[in-house]
Structure 1
Amino acid sequence: MAESLLFGVAESFIGKLASVAVQEASLSLSVYKDLQEIKKTVSLVKAVLLDAEQKQWQNNELREWLKQIKRVFYDAEDVIDDFECEALRKHVINTSGSIRRKVKCFFSNSNPLVYRFQMAHQIKHIKERFDKVAADRLKFGLQINDSDNRVVKRRELTHSYVIDSDVIGREHDKQKIIDMLLQDSGDSNSLSVIPVVGIGGLGKTTLAKAVFNDKSLDETFPLKMWVCVSDDFELKNLLVKILNAASVSGSSADPNPIHQESFTNLDLEQLQNRLRNVIAGKKFLLVLDDVWNEDRVKWVELKYLIQVGAEESKVLVTTRSHSIAKMMGTNTSYILEGLSLEDSLSVFVKWAFKEEEEKKYPELVEIGKEIVQKCGGLPLALRTLGSSLFLKFDVEEWKFIRDSEIWNLPQKEDDILPGLKLSYDQLPSYLKQCFACFSLFEKNFDFSNFHVSVLWVALGFLPPPSRGKTLEDMNIQFVYELQSRSFLQNFRDFGGGFCGFKLHDLVHDLSLYVARDEFQLLKFHNENILENVLHLSFLKNDLLGLTPVPTGLRTLIFPKGANNEAFLKTLVSRCKFLRVLQLPDSTYESLPRSIGKLKHLRYLNLGKSKELKSLPDSLCKLQNLYTLKLNGCIKLKKLPNGIGNLISLRQLIITTKQYTLPEKEIAKLTCLEILSVNSCDNLETLLLEGIQLSNLKWLGISSCGNLKSMPLHVIPNLEWLFITNCHKLKFSFHNENQIPKLKLKLLSLESLPQLVSFPEWLKGCADTLNTLVIDGCENLDELPEWLSTMICFNRFVVINCPKLLSLPDCFSNLESLLIVDCPELCRRYQPEVGHDWHKISHIKQVNVFFLRSQTSEG
């Protein structure tokens, strides 16, 4: 199934060939012509990949051809990445190296003559392999499709009929939607549109059917029309479907039904005239089921034609996409949740047994309760697993279903996995690769956007950011897009570009299904590591070293507490193409010197390795490194010598026993966007005045007990600032007039007893600040009035600030206010009853409560 990711791989590879670094390197190595020919050949292959991916399951030879292409692509990508590695290495030598070092490098294994010969040979070999697979494409009769806008196969068209007994556990949802349909919209000129949104398999269509057929709506809506839209949002086809639905509605509800006729032969002008005649002045309910269209122009065009009905006509839409719901809806979307455990068991029993038969098999019902847990409230999953056990009474067979991943079970076209896969098939190719990464983490993993960001960046899944944007901007955009398409649940937006989320268990199963062969999460001792796997994650420490690891690995994620030193040395020496190496919470005291040979490495995570005392200086040879995590390394004596050579570093997260950071080395990290300094108890100053980190956007300082100064004027473009538990840090500066106008979007101040009043320099971010968090600032007794004048300020959190007695009078732009454990504020601003409630009552979302009192009372 990983072959379905190939189109994205091909696009990424072509993009690499076009990069400036590769172009320059190919010219200097005299392989420019060869690379241009490879690019042409790859374009020919890419043009038929989409068709090949769809046809591969009917042709074993075609499927094998796709596997061959995948291997060639990845080998070629390693060679091209080597160009970039060499360019970065030469840059470091030319800018930082002594004459002696330059001479030494010339006579080393990396001297340009030897390197040119080696690369020319590798490029020639790659070219021959691409030529062969490109020639083989001709024997499969594949169609050319060079853009990923294919029509995705949908489920069968729906109808409006439903058996009441099939609708279990949706009485509350049904009544809420009926109430929304009967509610006065308050705008006689606007067609009211109510979207029902949720992941595939939740039962949106079944619920819509139950609402559509409810007799209580018949009097309000004399004309009711059911249209299954699916992937067909062409205006002419929709008009035909709506007219046909109106004719059916009329035949049963209207003494003078619309004359039944074929509308397919009418042109668009005739159709829109006919539709206007049919619905003009009539109060109608139109259900648009299973909408996938994201083109707003098409929707507006249809909406314009149908809003000639009577006032208070309604449109009910079902969709998996929050963005589609937002585009179409005039009412707040109805977010459909999963069924309760009790209702889920009822659905499962209905499909697993004949009526009343479950009473004969109490042991099976107990196993069924465990099976129900894995369905996460999705009716389609409950039906799939229940149906698979119908008329089967063997206990072991039930246990097999209970213990298997859903993606390992046989599936029919209308079962849960194909139902969910529709959403995956609809993803653009770049998001498919990103989604596959979720398979490397266990179920119920609590993600933040940073968890996935570092992987997506390191593996090259994010396209180059457009002008004025960073890779972090691209990351958050992709996360929001996945959330919009209902792939993510428990989504929490913390503001300032931070969010957290989980995956529904069945969505996690989907990630395992689509990523298999290429991504592998190793869980059990009897599992073999797949021969061609590229991305490998170990769930348990005792799995390390049991089976040989492929040398072509790009991702290696160790479990917490890794301590197999021999295994680590072997991997570092053998897996020279690693892009990602995660060693969190390890017990290693150092790393092997051979770490410096992993020149492709982009992400190195040693976070919370509490025994780590030193790092080899060879680590600073990793010029491709984007992210280095050393947080929680409480015994680390110092950063390695030459850290300034990590010229690609974008994220540096450190804990060290050093008294000062190597300022001159840090100054060389001109790409640095994120700097986090945690538990550096010996550190007294953070960055000297002589350096400038103009690209730094995110700064976090936590638990640095002796830190006294923070020179903001050396980080002029800072957007996110977090300061936690730094009791000696000063917030007023002698040279405040030198601080440039700030660009902060988010400011979080936590556990800072020295903070009595807000520093004046914060006025400098009046045009940009949108989120402010103040937590545990026990001596803060006043907020400045100018805080309320900030034009972008829309989210304010105040927690455990007992001396704060009031808020500024007018927060005109604030949209969200949270006050927790602030006695006087909680009393004065309590919703509806507080003395000063009227001052904040205009804010959309206000939460005021005591956590402490709730805990003590509970």
Structure 2
Amino acid sequence: MAESFVFNIADSLLGKLASYAYEEASRAYGVYEDLQGIKDTLSIVRGLLLDAEHKKNQQHALREWLRQIQNICYDAEDVLDEFELQHKKKQDLEVSGSTRRKVRRFFSPSNPLAFRFKMARQIKEIRDRLNKVAADGTMFGLVKIDVEPEHSLQRRQFTHSHVDASSVIGRENDKETIIKLLMESNPRSDGDKCMCVIPIVGIGGLGKTTLAKLVFNDKRIDDVFQLKIWVCVSNDFDIRKIIIKIINSAFLSASPPPGVAIAHQEDINHFDIEQLQIRLRHKLDGQKFILVLDDIWNDDRTKWIELADMIRVGAGESKIIVTTRSNSIASMMGNVPSYLLEGLSQKNCLSLFVKCAFKDGEEEKYSNLVETGKEIVKKCAGVPLAVKTLGSSLFSKYDLNKWIFIRDHEIWNLEQKKDDILPALKLSYDEMSSYLRQCFAYFSMYPKNRSIDVIEITTLWMAHGLVKSTNEFVTVDSNTRKISEQARHISIIENDSLDRVLFPKSKSVRTILFPVEGVGLDNESLLDIWVSRYKYLRFLDLDYSSVETLPNSIGKLKHLHILFVSNNKKIKRLPDSIFELHKLQYLALNGCPELETLPRGLGKLTSLRHLWITTKQSVLSLTEFANLINLQLLVFEDCKNMKFVFNGAQQLTSIETLYLDNCGSLESLPLYIFPKLQSLAIRSSKMLNLSLHNESPVQKLMLKHLLIDNIPRLLTLPGWIEGAAETLEILRIYELPNLQTFPECLTTMTHLKRLIIRGCPKLSSLPSGIHNLTALEELYIDGCPELCRKCQPQSGEYWPMIAHIKSIIIKEEEEEEEDEEEEE
């Protein structure tokens, strides 16, 4: 890893030397030719570093050579930083300095002539040192490689499909889950040749390939699929090579049983891509196959689509398993949820460790070693390859001191073979781009098991030039002394950083953001400055601010799209001018308990899409809201005086999502006002009677998602829910202490996919026709003791009616208490 890191440092240094800023400064000080010499020599050394990657294990002297290069690069960075600082001082002086100052500066140690001599001497020294290491590199037999390091990355050896299942520990449940997915019908197999692609995702050494092998070699797979094809992709996602591997593997899979003559396999290595794709399609046409694509690193979606189009000629029920370390690759290739492989349990890890460290039964003689082994296993974090590495390193070693040495030393300090854990993990490091490798290396500065603060680590990266902060995006904290005139987007993360002199006088600011909870604006005069100065603001975040009102001038922000005034405990009113914001799309006024009323003119905000409201008003004007023709989401939060949502008979035809949270005085909810409503959430509204406004016949609704939470008066679900029988997909019932029954209309919900019931202690039964909910994929019941008992797997009386549901989670209170005790 060290030589790759040195390459990154050299690469970064070359980038600086090639920049226009350094070229301009070097010409101004007459050291251009010297810096170009460093650049040329460094380019040679950079190429030699790539060859050192391949030869590092053969010559130990290369480590010292690499250390020398690293030191030279760091010294060169220091020289260049000093050079850059001096040039900036010179520019500042030319702008603001007087003649008197210039004369005084000529006789100071920092005058241009003295600085030039100093720089020339330091640059010559750096160049001489670089020339020497470049010459030493050729003595080591290194040659210059003119390719990027990404093209010479380490890769593991190609995998094969064989596995001794008896040697694999702790993956039986994982295997059964994947096999179950393989046995299921494809979601879109009817008329659509979109084969099911199942990604198995996990870090290096976790056992993704081993799991794929276990599945691939299971006898049930032989009975279901006509062809079994194993392809290790690993290096580049070379379409031609992959096709050849698929054809060859398919040929062997279709071979006759032992004792029967095998047909001669044609040599297809010389075929062009057209011949290969014809042969591939012929081989797979109409066949029901399982294809394992092991060790995928390619994130080029066009390549994957090209390959998928060729193999889509197989039977619709064919399946593909993909193993990869990358969630993004899994998402790109998979069309079912990824299977996220987890680490082994401590018990299974210990069993695997003992298997690797001892001969069969031998561990019984060395109980003291096994006890130490338990502590060694903890550092492996459930990763099987790490367990194997440490266990194998102790095989036939019975000296307790050697075991203690392994226990007390970090795994990366131990000698590693090519198939051990560190080489496997290094593949992920190699896959990172150059600048990410340098960023990653800084994590080593933090102690083990410590949470790393995001702001702290990014600040560290910025300090060392790994993250370039432009004039365009600025984070403001107590250390900020000035904001550039070119700043467009300002993020304020500390309250005590709000000094008005910081903020630029230009009109270029587009965003003002307070991203930290609890940190907001408490300076009304500064808000006046922002509103009057930044005419082109698109995003103004006043979350957690403490101002009593907004300035009248806010109406001049004609370009404002988003305005957050949430969680302001002081604001009492809004100026009428707010309704001059004709481009406003998002307005958040929730968490403002002192807001007395919304000013008239709300209907003028015709671009508004999302609106969050907390107000002391008892009723709102339906006429005003009816003019908001683009309003899609409406949230009422902590509106404690509100008895009726609206006063009027008009309909709000654009609203698709309605949330009512903690509106304690609310008595009724007329759903007919919202004919296009798709999502409805009602929480903590203790006076609400949901049974009102039950029309006959039942009004047809478009609801897809319904949440009812903490409505004590509810004895059964409201009758109007029957109006959503053809559309409802998710029904969540939380904390209804008096709910006793479900209406029979629940069994007519033909599109219901998720039913979640929690905290309904009096609910003891399900509708008798619950088995008719064939679309139901998830049933979750928690905090309903009698109902939980009746739904227990195998033994519960309702089990036969719900057993067809894919995911069933039944939690009883006793089990929860036990789980909490175990966690503590």
With structure 1 as the length reference, what TM-score do the two structures score?
0.66
- Contact 1:797–1:818 (8 Å) recurs in 2: no
The CA distance in 1 between the partners of 2:119 and 2:502, in whole Å, is 41
User: Aligned AA for 2:265?
Assistant: E
Please state if 1:371 is matched with 2:362: no
Corresponding residue number in structure 1 for 2:286: 281
The CA distance in 1 between the partners of 2:573 and 2:312, in whole Å, is 58
Alpha-carbon offset, residue 47 of structure 1: 2.5
Structure 2 residue matching 1:149: 3-state secondary structure: helix
Corresponding residue number in structure 2 for 1:694: 509
Corresponding residue number in structure 2 for 1:9: 9
The CA distance in 2 between the partners of 1:695 and 1:101, in whole Å, is 39
Structure 2 residue matching 1:278: 3-state secondary structure: helix
Corresponding residue number in structure 1 for 2:110: 110
**Distance change (3 Å), C-alpha of 1:400 and 1:212:** same
- Contact 1:778–1:802 (8 Å) recurs in 2: no
Corresponding residue number in structure 2 for 1:328: 333
- Contact 2:208–2:341 (8 Å) recurs in 1: yes
1:203 aligned residue (199, 203, 207): 207
The CA distance in 2 between the partners of 1:842 and 1:780, in whole Å, is 37
Say what the alpha-carbon RMSD is for the aligned residues: 4.8
Q: Residues 798-837 of structure 1: matches in 2 within 5 Å?
A: 809-811=655-657, 831=707
The CA distance in 2 between the partners of 1:757 and 1:824, in whole Å, is 29
Per-residue deviation, residues 349-371 of structure 1 (Å, max 9, x unmatched): 33333445445544444433332
Corresponding residue number in structure 2 for 1:404: 409
Corresponding residue number in structure 2 for 1:506: none
**Distance change (3 Å), C-alpha of 1:300 and 1:830:** closer
Alpha-carbon offset, residue 736 of structure 1: 1.6
Q: Gapped runs of 5+ residues in structure 2?
A: 612-628, 646-651, 659-677, 691-704, 710-716, 736-757, 760-782, 784-812
Aligned pair count reads: 662
User: Aligned AA for 2:494?
Assistant: N
- Contact 2:552–2:577 (8 Å) recurs in 1: no
Q: Residues 624-643 of structure 1: matches in 2 within 5 Å?
A: none
Structure 2 residue matching 1:57: 3-state secondary structure: coil
Higher RCO, 1 vs 2 (CA within 8 Å, ≥6 residues apart): 1
1:426 aligned residue (431, 444, 451): 431
Alpha-carbon offset, residue 449 of structure 1: 4.4
- Contact 1:286–1:316 (8 Å) recurs in 2: yes
**Distance change (3 Å), C-alpha of 1:688 and 1:446:** closer
The CA distance in 1 between the partners of 2:687 and 2:164, in whole Å, is 53
Q: Which piece of structure 1 moves more, 20-29 or 444-453? A: 444-453
Corresponding residue number in structure 2 for 1:219: 223
**Distance change (3 Å), C-alpha of 1:774 and 1:687:** farther
Corresponding residue number in structure 1 for 2:626: none
- Contact 1:8–1:430 (8 Å) recurs in 2: yes
1:654 aligned residue (458, 470, 478): 478
**Distance change (3 Å), C-alpha of 1:761 and 1:133:** farther
Which of 1 and 2 has greater Rg? 2
- Contact 2:394–2:403 (8 Å) recurs in 1: yes
**Distance change (3 Å), C-alpha of 1:751 and 1:106:** same
Corresponding residue number in structure 2 for 1:66: 66
The CA distance in 2 between the partners of 1:54 and 1:792, in whole Å, is 62
Alpha-carbon offset, residue 29 of structure 1: 0.7
**Distance change (3 Å), C-alpha of 1:666 and 1:77:** closer
Corresponding residue number in structure 2 for 1:30: 30
Q: Residues 462-473 of structure 1: matches in 2 within 5 Å?
A: 462=467
**Distance change (3 Å), C-alpha of 1:767 and 1:208:** farther
The CA distance in 1 between the partners of 2:230 and 2:631, in whole Å, is 44
Structure 2 residue matching 1:651: 3-state secondary structure: strand
Q: Residues 558-637 of structure 1: matches in 2 within 5 Å?
A: none
Corresponding residue number in structure 1 for 2:347: 342
Alpha-carbon offset, residue 756 of structure 1: 7.9
The CA distance in 2 between the partners of 1:440 and 1:358, in whole Å, is 38
Corresponding residue number in structure 1 for 2:127: 127
User: Aligned AA for 1:62?
Assistant: L
Q: Residues 766-805 of structure 1: matches in 2 within 5 Å?
A: 777-778=592-593, 788=609
1:739 aligned residue (549, 553, 557): 557
Alpha-carbon offset, residue 844 of structure 1: 11
The CA distance in 2 between the partners of 1:700 and 1:401, in whole Å, is 45
Per-residue deviation, residues 11-62 of structure 1 (Å, max 9, x unmatched): 2222212222212211111112222233222222223321123213312343
Per-residue deviation, residues 755-795 of structure 1 (Å, max 9, x unmatched): 788998599697887xx998855567999896545999999
Alpha-carbon offset, residue 127 of structure 1: 2.6
Alpha-carbon offset, residue 87 of structure 1: 2.4
Alpha-carbon offset, residue 93 of structure 1: 3.4
Please state if 1:381 is matched with 2:386: yes
Alpha-carbon offset, residue 231 of structure 1: 0.7
Alpha-carbon offset, residue 458 of structure 1: 2.1
Corresponding residue number in structure 1 for 2:569: 752
**Distance change (3 Å), C-alpha of 1:134 and 1:708:** same
Structure 2 residue matching 1:316: 3-state secondary structure: strand
The CA distance in 2 between the partners of 1:335 and 1:162, in whole Å, is 21
Per-residue deviation, residues 296-323 of structure 1 (Å, max 9, x unmatched): 3332332222111111211111011222
Structure 2 residue matching 1:375: 3-state secondary structure: coil
- Contact 1:826–1:849 (8 Å) recurs in 2: no
The CA distance in 1 between the partners of 2:594 and 2:83, in whole Å, is 56
1:460 aligned residue (450, 465, 471): 465
Please state if 1:317 is matched with 2:322: yes
Please state if 1:708 is matched with 2:519: no
Alpha-carbon offset, residue 405 of structure 1: 0.7
Alpha-carbon offset, residue 261 of structure 1: 1.4
- Contact 1:696–1:718 (8 Å) recurs in 2: yes
1:185 aligned residue (181, 184, 187): 187
The CA distance in 1 between the partners of 2:408 and 2:688, in whole Å, is 49
The CA distance in 2 between the partners of 1:723 and 1:847, in whole Å, is 33
Corresponding residue number in structure 1 for 2:40: 40
Q: Residues 167-182 of structure 1: matches in 2 within 5 Å?
A: 167-182=168-183
- Contact 1:247–1:260 (8 Å) recurs in 2: no
Q: Gapped runs of 5+ residues in structure 1?
A: 473-649, 656-660
Please state if 1:678 is matched with 2:678: no
